[in-house]
Structure formats: structure tokens, C-alpha cells
Amino acid sequence: MDGQYDGNVHDIEHFLKVWSYAKTIGELEGLDPYTQETLELAAIVHDIACPLCREKYGSTAGPYQEAEGIPLARDFYSDFTLPDQQKDRICYLVGHHHTFRNVEGMDYQILVEADFLVNASESHMNVEAIENFGKKVFKTETGRNLLSEIYKLPQ
């Protein structure tokens, strides 16, 4: 996967951090093995479109990533021996990881939370914005605890 990012250290570190949080949250929330695997495979490629978006649009804005990421993720996993249904779900997650309404499924919820945990730091968000987002979007106990501990949110 590192090759997809052409040596861009920020992108590589970002997907590794998001994968790590997604893995941790999924395990602590007790996901079944199939959903856990789907979550982790989606976390690895969730920002696969960033290099293309920078080149094509001069931006990695969420809507660009979501639109461009689906075919790139599908192509990336095309040679893997995964059920088509699982590949479809991975692509769905990649194509929706910046969409915070109508979040269906624990894999989707956890990917959103894991990505935000990293994005909040990388974007230097203020505590009030982090707290507001957490109240509106975070649903898992593990995600909420991580958000509170990492960003020292009031209890």
C-alpha cells in the first residue's frame, strides 16, 4: 500500500494511524471477525484517492476522495481472494468515509471515528470543534473514550 502514496510520508502515516485506531476500536467493541476484517481492509485504503485528487483537483476534499476512491479501492483489491460482497462493502466505506449522516453498520461508524481521531490532530482542530463533532457523530464507547483521553475533553 505504501507504493500507492509514492513516498508521501504524511499519507502513509495517516492511513497507518487510521488503521490502528480502527483495529483497536473494532476489537474493543467486539466486532465479529468478518466485520473486523472488512473494517481494517477499508481503513487501509480509505484515502487511496488522495494522490489522484491532489493532481486532478488540487484538493483532497472529502467529496473528491469519496468519488475517486471507489474505483481505486476496487482495483486495489481486485486480485485479493475476498468475497464480492466484502469488496463491495470496502468500496462503499471508502466512498462514504467523509459522510457523517445515515451511518449504517459498525464498520462504517468505526471508520468515521478512527479517521476523525487522526484528522482532528492533523488539522489542529480546537477542542470545542472536536468536542462538538464527538457529541454529534461518535457512537462507540471506545471511540468516545479515545476522543476524550487524547484531546483531554471535559467529562
pLDDT in tens, 22-46: 999 999 999 999 999 999 999 999 9
Q: pTM for this structure? A: 0.94
pLDDT in tens, 63-82: 999 999 999 999 999 999 99
In the structure, what pLDDT confidence band is assigned to residue 50 with cuts at 50, 70 and 90?
A: very high
Question: Mean pLDDT score of the chain, rounded to an integer?
Answer: 94
Q: Are 98 and 62 in contact (CB under 8 A)?
A: yes
76: cell is 486495489
**Which whole-number Å values give the CA distances from 150 to 28, 78, 131, 143, 146, in the listed order?**
17, 36, 11, 10, 6
CB burial string 44-76: b at 16+ within 10 A, e below: bbbbbbbbbbeeeeeebebebbbebbbebbbeb
At 8 the pLDDT is 81
126: cell is 480546537
At 123 the pLDDT is 94
Which amino acid type is present at position 17? K
- Residue 9 has φ and ψ, to the nearest 5°, of -60, -40
Neighbours of 149 (CB within 10 A): 9
In the structure, what pLDDT confidence band is assigned to residue 99 with cuts at 50, 70 and 90?
A: very high
